[in-house]
Structures are given as C-alpha cells and as structure tokens.
Structure 1
C-alpha cells in the first residue's frame, strides 16, 4: 500500500477569486496567511506575475535550526485561478516539494479555494532522512485557509 505524499484542503471563502488571488500573489502577505507559523516575512515586495520567477522568504523553524531563507520558484500561474511554487533552501534547487493554491469562482463574491502541499517528488535520501514529511499538517493547512479568509475580509 503506497503512502499518500500530498495533502489538499479546501473551503469556500466569501470573496472574489480576484481579491483572493491578489493576496496569494503578494509574498509580503504570506506571513499573514501562514498556518504553520514558519513564515516571518518576504525578502522583497514584488508581486508574483508568472511561472518561472522566484521569490525569497524569511523563515524560522526548529526543523532548520532556527532562522533561514527559502527560494520559491513559481511553478504554476493562471490569473485568478492558480498559483504555486516549489520551495528550496535559499541558493539551492527545489528538492521536490510544492505548494499549490487553486481558485474556483462560485459567483462574484464567493470562491472555492484549495491548498495542496505535495512532497511526492522528494527523492533525495538525505532530505527524506532529515525532514519528517509532512512538515506541515492538514490542520495547519486548514488554518492557512482560515487566515486567508480573514485577510480578504479585512
């Protein structure tokens, strides 16, 4: 029996897909919507505008021995529908985990939002030994959706 190597959570949020997408594509707002508590701030204030670009985040967590940075390579982008990135320790290539936000409009002021944390492409034995996947729980992902709902309401 194979072990599932991704977690997806979903909920409807009372906001337009455009308003939600505006929050998701601005890394300076990611700490505000992070249910894991790892994100501290972004390293610059550029909006995500297309696949293939990179943004850097300031992070903190015991799993990395305290403060650290990540480079996040935008791997999915569809205006007001989807944004995703592959995360890596700063200065390294992504080792195989990815975050994907998907938006499905349910009218002008309501959107079904799905957040997927996928580590299925992590194959490096050293990383698999060091990191106890999933590093972020379904409950923490749900909290990200709750925080996103609060962020677009305010």
Structure 2
C-alpha cells in the first residue's frame, strides 16, 4: 500500500468512527432520559461516550488530512494474532466460571500476547499478573460483580 492509500484509509476510518459516535450519541440523547450529573439517567453515559467517540474520529480524520504522508504500511493482517486475541476472549468466557477471574485473566493475557512476535516472557508474565489482579480487585471486590475471585472457595 502506498502512503496515499494509508492517508485515505485513515480519513475514511476516522469519518466512520465519527459517524458511529454521532449516531450513538443521537440515539441515546433522543430515546433515553439524560438526567443530571448527580442523578444520571440511562442516556447520560451513552450520549457522552458517543460524543467522545465522534470527537476522536474527527481528530483521526484531521490528523490524516494535515499530517505528512507517512511510510507505506503493509495492510496484511496475520491470522495468528487475530486468532489468538479473539481466542483469548472466548477462552475467558469459557474459563472464568471455573477458574475465577484472577487465574483466567492471567491465562487470557498470556494467550493474547502470544499473538505478537515482539512479546517477551519477562514482560508478559508481570503484565498478566498485574492486569489480572488489578481488574479482579476492581470488578469482583469493589464493584461486587458475581464472579469467583480464585478457583478455590
């Protein structure tokens, strides 16, 4: 792919992201009650997140329009990274009930990292442990989601 094609793809991608965000924001604002910042309605967060997505899409588009043409990129996506990242999401859904959030989180981060040729074990393992523990504390302990923390009672 040439750099010109890259910029065109980024422009189209940015516009699609902006359109998606604007659409989500519009639907949420017109079909759900907004409420206030103190008492948020069901449309409050979707409206704000849709607007943020629209702004980010416009920023991507503007950056593509004013940025100098970059180096050509290889548009091929490997099957291995795609399969491992998507597989890790499916693996999480299958294992979280029996192994708990901590162990399942570690496994899925490691599996997803296998999709990168640049992944180094001495970086992946601490990342997997810290991300898994932090997300487990937030979602299970602080937010009280009904998941097992550990595989044992």
The answer to whether TM tops 0.5 is no
Q: Which has the higher contact order (CA 8 A, sep 6+)?
A: 1
Larger strand share, 1 or 2: 1
Question: TM-score by structure 1 length?
Answer: 0.25
Q: Which has the larger radius of gyration?
A: 2
